[in-house]
Structure 1
Amino acid sequence: MKILYAIQGTGNGHLSRAREIIPLLHKKGEVDLLISGTQADVELPFPVKYRFRGLCFVFGKKGGVDVMATYRKSNLKRLYQEIRSLPVENYDLVISDFEPVSAWACRRKHKHCVGLSHQAAVIHKNAPKPEKTDLLGNAILHHYAPVSKAYGFHFGGYSQDIFTPVIRSEIRNSTAEIQPHYTVYLPAYSDKRMIRVLSEIKN
């Protein structure tokens, strides 16, 4: 079986998850990898067949996507060319981890595409919803990388299509220690804002 596994390269979560999933896919067939996006610190220890610019999000420092910076960085003509050039018809299975080139190439050629992402869990009908709806964010989640069937990753198992997060083997096999500090990972916020907010917490 020929498998195309397409990974969103903006941010580190998708690539970290892929490092664990790729060896499992290799047991099922011949795997080609695709990465689109340019804002990640994690490298894959596997050969990548397709590297695309895709449609990159630029994260601001106030939490979330910087819409104007994303628009300025986008090249829709090149994105369309990338979508047209991807031979998804050559694969028995296409898996997209919130990756737009593969998803839209499948949509364009009427090919089945399986979504495997945290985003799939967020937009699931049974997922907890915020009191205030973010219309732009909701539109992005639904239309950025459309798939035929979606499976999500989330800490809350509120559907049979939602699974617990994929944790790197280095983390699973490490020895837990309690240290005199807290680790906060919120890269979409500026250090200045984080320090101001966290400084308000006493004891």
Structure 2
Amino acid sequence: MKILYAIQGTGNGHLARATELVPLLQKLGETHVLVSGIQGDLQLPFAIDYQLYGLSFIFGQQGGVDITQTLKKAKPWRFWKGISQLPVHDYDHVISDFEPISAWACKLRKKKCIGLSHQNAVLHPHTPKPKNQDTLGKFILKHYAPSNPTFGFHFQSLGNSFFTPVIRSTIRQAAIQQLNHFTVYLPAYSDQAIISALTPFQHINWQVFSKHTKHAYREGNIWIRPVSLAHFTKSFTTCKGILCTAGFETPAEALYMGKKLCVIPMKNQYEQACNAAFLEAMQIPVLTGLKNQHQAIQHWLEQNQPAPIHYPDQTFEILKKLLQSA
């Protein structure tokens, strides 16, 4: 059995989840890996068979997607070339984690594409949604990487095809501690914006993982270093809490470990607005940005440590079910 597993490379959450899924897929069949997008920072521990430019949302430095840079860096001819040249009929199964080239290649060739992503679960009718409906954002989420059948992951189970999060083995097997630091991952903010917001909390040791630096440095009680999965995981598993975007993988792992969690949804990003609504329903603090948030951050820092949420290790069974049902 030949499997093509296609990963969205905008951001690091999809890539981090792939480190768990790909080795399991390799146990089920000959697995080739496709990564598209230009915003990922992580080095994957397995071979990539197709590295494509894709269609990426470019992170800005003011808290959201940079629409101008996203349009400027879009290369529709390369996107179409990837779709037209991808040999999807060479595979028994194509699985897309919100990856558009594989999804559209299958759609145009009338080949089944299995969608396995958090985004599929976000569209579920029973998930909390933001008060301000984003029609364009919802349209993009629905049509960016079309697939059928669809399976998904969310903070809570939503039925037979929508599961609790994939928690990486490195997290499950880690010695979870609460040392004297807080971890920060806000890739859509500049280093200076983060430093300005956190400097007033002189009694806190902040460990910031930045998308905008290639060298580690310190600013008083704030330690800033480039994104690295190994270094981030070490900081994350031993922190008191984490301040991060309203993505999926990092908040889910924080909930699993019982870490204090506070999220800031990226602007112009409908999925993160939906995630924030779900987390807010779970009593997780949600900030609208970094500016003028001193009181809210202080309140979060003073909260008691939450109880861990049990997310069962069922990833291999999910993958077997997915391939059998398809």
Show the counterpart of 1:41: 41
Quote the Cα distance in structure 2 between the aligned partners of 1:187 and 1:61.
8
Show the counterpart of 1:122: 122
Show the counterpart of 2:144: 144
Are residue 199 (structure 1) and residue 272 (structure 2) matched?
A: no
Aligned residue for 1:184, secondary structure, equals strand
Show the counterpart of 2:177: 177
- Give the residue type in structure 1 aligned to 2:81: Q
Quote the Cα distance in structure 2 between the aligned partners of 1:140 and 1:188.
20
- More displaced, 85-94 or 150-159? 150-159
Aligned residue for 1:6, secondary structure, equals strand
Q: Whose RCO is larger (CA < 8 A, sep 6+)?
A: 1
Task: Note closer, same or farther for the CA distance 1:162–1:193 as it changes in structure 2 (3 Å cut).
Answer: farther
Show the counterpart of 1:68: 68
Quote the Cα distance in structure 1 between the aligned partners of 2:67 and 2:20.
31
Shift of 1:27: 1.1
Shift of 1:197: 4.5
Q: Is the 8 A contact 1:121 1:151 kept in 2?
A: yes
Instruction: Normalising by structure 2, report the TM-score.
Output: 0.59
Superposition pairs for residues 84-123 of structure 1, below 5 Å?
84-123=84-123
Are residue 12 (structure 1) and residue 12 (structure 2) matched?
A: yes
Show the counterpart of 2:160: 160
Structure of larger gyration radius? 2
Shift of 1:111: 0.6
Quote the Cα distance in structure 1 between the aligned partners of 2:80 and 2:63.
29
- More displaced, 193-202 or 107-116? 193-202
Quote the Cα distance in structure 2 between the aligned partners of 1:182 and 1:159.
34
Aligned residue for 1:46, secondary structure, equals coil
CA distances 1:11-66 after superposition (whole Å, capped 9, x unpaired): 11111101110111111111111010111111111111111101111022344322
Shift of 1:176: 1.2
Structure 1, unaligned stretches of length 5 or more?
none
Shift of 1:172: 1.1
- More displaced, 92-101 or 167-176? 167-176
Task: Note closer, same or farther for the CA distance 1:62–1:142 as it changes in structure 2 (3 Å cut).
Answer: farther
Quote the Cα distance in structure 2 between the aligned partners of 1:81 and 1:150.
25
CA distances 1:83-131 after superposition (whole Å, capped 9, x unpaired): 0000101111000011110000000100100111111111112221111
Aligned residue for 2:41, secondary structure, equals coil
Q: Is the 8 A contact 1:156 1:164 kept in 2?
A: yes
Aligned residue for 2:185, secondary structure, equals coil
Quote the Cα distance in structure 2 between the aligned partners of 1:50 and 1:101.
11
The percentage of counterpart residues that share the same residue type is 54
Structure 2, unaligned stretches of length 5 or more?
198-290, 303-326
Q: CA RMSD in A?
A: 1.6
Show the counterpart of 1:135: 135
- More displaced, 107-116 or 136-145? 136-145
Aligned residue for 1:128, secondary structure, equals coil
Quote the Cα distance in structure 1 between the aligned partners of 2:292 and 2:122.
26
- Give the residue type in structure 2 aligned to 1:20: E
Question: Alignment length, in residue pairs?
Answer: 203
